[in-house]
């Protein structure tokens, strides 16, 4: 059976406005199995978001190959969900119409799309807020809308780019648990980008550690913690702490490299 | 007082009612203060009007201001009253207002529709905008009211030439705003819509245009005023009816009161239009957070 996602020898370069070439990713190899929850951690600017853009088909790779379920990615494919770091819900649509957007774009009738949207709105706990506009919601509620908006299309792959980084700690823990519940009811593979190692371990089956940019995968760790998990409690288990220490040793070096570079860049 | 601030005061009142139990005296005092302030502003506005018009009137009567050139408020009022009751030199006053209004609204609609269409088109198409941009900049640099002369020759002295003049003035303002609005669309929103499965047509109608709409609607405030300028300038180049023509004929008779009366009419028309556009704006952009209200307690 083919992997859900496979990146082989992927390099991504961008042209900078001044005419130079910036290498975001270099010779990156990564493999995600169907139904697997993976986290990607790494220092800032290591190309985590770029990796997601390549998998989604928003950006083509400069070199190497990106396969999704055994097929090379060319343009945006069906079956992909993407939750962005910043708010990407449509501010001029109500909660209902935001969630219904995906089915509408796929040709569902307005009535059918709204019915499915209502179902998803109740699954993310926003019943009663259908007619609100995004500006009338809290940050956590907007993330719920974004989640429902992505999941309603039934993605086989869900890409998440630091989705909860802007939330306060309590809301974040709640959202993490809800994400795990929603994910366990689906069969989607998840690639969850974060800079927070604790979040990465408590959510995922596998953690990829990336090097300071140009990014490549330094190592990957299998997280053998039982499911279902409670994100708020799992952090206190001895096994969690062991795994954390093991990965942190790897990650720390990269964070220091990135930090030194930034300092030099600023000087 | 504007429509919006009235709505805000009402909103403040509603919050006050909900909180009536614990701090109701504080709320009542605040509400009273707000009302008093509102009355103060209204009183000061009236006072300013009385001071300016009264000073003008007195100045003209005492001879400090030359009333042949600058007229005086009572004469202007009398002229307006005569126009309303007996009609103008060009016929009933209502016909003149209606004529100018038709030209203005016609030019406003034609110019806005073309401006939005081309703005979105060029904003979405990089090649087209790169090719056309120097020509558009050049056209924009010309003082555009002069095209009124051209239209008077080519389209004749009826309503068509005025609509064309007004439309040209409106077009550029709306066009540049629509163009900019399309260019400033949040890339995350576009990426999100594409991932969710939007094709190019959906992207334009559901993401690009709504996103550019706040820019476009903002430009409509300015452009209605410009449409009025276009219509009046068009009338000055030659017409048989309209408020601009009314001003023109008053000028020919050295009738300063008539010129001022025409100006007052134009100002009234612009104010009514402004209120209508604000109402339209609030309808179209309901999703935008309201301006922060002052609710310090």
Q: What is the ipTM of this complex?
A: 0.90
At B193, the pLDDT band (50, 70, 90 cuts) reads very high
Contacts of A78 in chain B (CB under 8 A): 197
Mutate to test the interface with B, among A90, A93, A96, A147 (most CBs of B within 10 A): A90
pLDDT at site A266: 67
Q: Is B284 on the interface with A (CB under 8 A)?
A: no
Pairs of residues, one from chain A and one from chain B, whose beta carbons lie less than 8 Å apart: 63
Query: What count of other Cβ atoms lies within 10 Å of the Cβ of residue A201?
Result: 24
Full-model pTM: 0.80
Contacts of A106 in chain B (CB under 8 A): 197
Distance from CA of A243 to the nearest CA of B (A): 34
Q: Is B189 on the interface with A (CB under 8 A)?
A: yes
For domain A5-79+191-266, the CATH architecture is 3-Layer(aba) Sandwich (3.40)
Contacts of B286 in chain A (CB under 8 A): 133
Q: How far apart are CA B273 and CA B266, in angstroms?
A: 11
Q: How far apart are CA B11 and CA A233, in angstroms?
A: 44
Contact check, Cβ <8 Å, B287/A86: no
Contact check, Cβ <8 Å, A90/B196: no
Residue B199 burial (10 A CB sphere; 0-12, 13-18, 19+): exposed
Residue of B nearest to A108 (CA): B197
pLDDT in tens, chain A (267 residues): 688 999 999 999 999 888 889 999 999 999 999 999 999 998 888 889 999 999 999 999 999 999 999 899 988 888 899 999 888 999 999 999 999 999 999 999 999 999 999 999 999 999 999 999 999 999 899 999 999 999 999 999 999 999 998 889 889 999 999 999 999 998 899 999 998 999 999 999 999 999 987 889 999 999 999 988 999 899 999 999 999 999 999 899 888 888 888 888 766
Q: Which of A203, A207, A208 is nearest to A228 (CA)?
A: A203
Q: Which of B184, B181, B256, B275 is nearest to B219 (CA)?
A: B181
Q: Is the peptide bond before B236 cis (omega within 30 degrees of 0)?
A: no
Q: Is B197 on the interface with A (CB under 8 A)?
A: yes
Q: What is the pLDDT of residues B96-127, one digit of tens each?
A: 999 999 999 999 999 999 999 999 999 999 89
CATH topology of domain B76-284: MetI-like fold (1.10.3720)
Contact check, Cβ <8 Å, B188/A76: no
Residue of B nearest to A134 (CA): B287
Q: Determine the average pLDDT of the residues in B163-172.
A: 94
pLDDT at site B21: 57
* Domains of chain B by residue range: 3-65, 76-284
């Amino acid at each position: 059976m083919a992997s859900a996602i496979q990146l082989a020898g992927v390099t991504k370069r961008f042209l900078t406005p001044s005419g130079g070439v910036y290498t975001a990713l270099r010779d990156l190899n990564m493999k995600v199995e169907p139904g697997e929850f993976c986290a990607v951690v790494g220092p800032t600017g290591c190309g985590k978001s770029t990796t997601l853009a390549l998998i989604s088909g928003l950006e083509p790779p400069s070199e190497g190959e990106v396969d999704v379920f055994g097929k090379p990615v060319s343009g945006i494919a069906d079956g992909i969900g993407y939750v962005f770091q910043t708010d990407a819900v449509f501010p001029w649509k109500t909660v209902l119409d935001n969630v219904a957007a995906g089915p509408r774009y796929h040709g569902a009738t307005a009535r059918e799309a709204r019915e499915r949207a209502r179902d998803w709105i109740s699954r993310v706990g926003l019943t009663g807020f259908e007619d609100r506009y995004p500006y009338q919601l809290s940050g956590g509620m907007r993330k719920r809308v974004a989640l429902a908006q992505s999941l309603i299309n039934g993605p086989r792959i869900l890409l998440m780019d630091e989705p909860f980084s802007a939330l306060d700690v309590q809301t974040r823990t709640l959202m993490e648990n809800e994400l795990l519940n929603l994910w366990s009811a689906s069969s989607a593979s998840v690639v969850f980008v974060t800079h927070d190692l604790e979040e990465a371990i408590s959510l995922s089956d596998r953690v990829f550690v990336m090097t300071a940019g140009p990014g490549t995968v330094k190592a990957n760790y299998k997280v053998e913690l039982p499911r279902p998990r409670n994100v708020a409690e799992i952090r206190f288990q001895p096994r969690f702490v062991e795994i954390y220490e093991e990965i942190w040793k790897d990650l720390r070096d990269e964070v220091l490299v990135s930090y030194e570079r930034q300092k030099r860049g600023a000087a | 007082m504007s429509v919006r601030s009235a709505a805000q005061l009402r909103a403040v009142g509603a919050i006050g009612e909900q909180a009536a139990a614990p701090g109701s005296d504080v709320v009542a005092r605040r509400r009273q203060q707000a009302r008093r302030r509102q009355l103060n502003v209204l009183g000061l506005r009236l006072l300013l009007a009385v001071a300016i018009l009264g000073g003008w009137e007195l100045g003209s009567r005492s001879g400090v201001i030359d009333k042949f050139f600058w007229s005086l408020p009572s004469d202007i009022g009398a002229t307006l009253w005569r126009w309303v009751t007996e009609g103008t030199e060009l016929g009933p006053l209502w016909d003149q207002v209606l004529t100018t209004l038709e030209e203005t609204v016609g030019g406003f609609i034609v110019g806005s529709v073309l401006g939005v269409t081309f703005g979105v088109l060029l904003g979405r198409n990089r090649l087209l905008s790169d090719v056309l941009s120097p020509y558009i900049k050049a056209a924009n640099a010309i003082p555009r009211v002069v095209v009124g002369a051209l239209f008077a020759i080519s389209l004749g002295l009826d309503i068509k030439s005025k609509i064309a003049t007004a439309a040209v003035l409106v077009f550029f303002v709306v066009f540049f705003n629509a163009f900019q609005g399309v260019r400033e669309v949040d890339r995350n929103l576009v990426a999100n819509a594409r991932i969710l499965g939007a094709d190019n047509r959906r992207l334009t109608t559901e993401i690009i245009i709504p996103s550019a709409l706040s820019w476009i609607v903002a430009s409509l405030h300015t452009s209605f005023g410009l449409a009025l300028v276009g219509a009046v300038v068009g009338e000055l180049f030659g017409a048989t009816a309209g408020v601009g023509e009314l001003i023109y004929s008053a000028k020919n008779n050295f009738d300063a009161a008539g010129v001022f009366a025409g100006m007052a009419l134009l100002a009234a028309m612009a104010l009514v239009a402004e209120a209508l556009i604000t109402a339209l704006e609030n309808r179209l952009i309901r999703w935008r957070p309201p301006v922060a209200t002052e609710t310090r307690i």
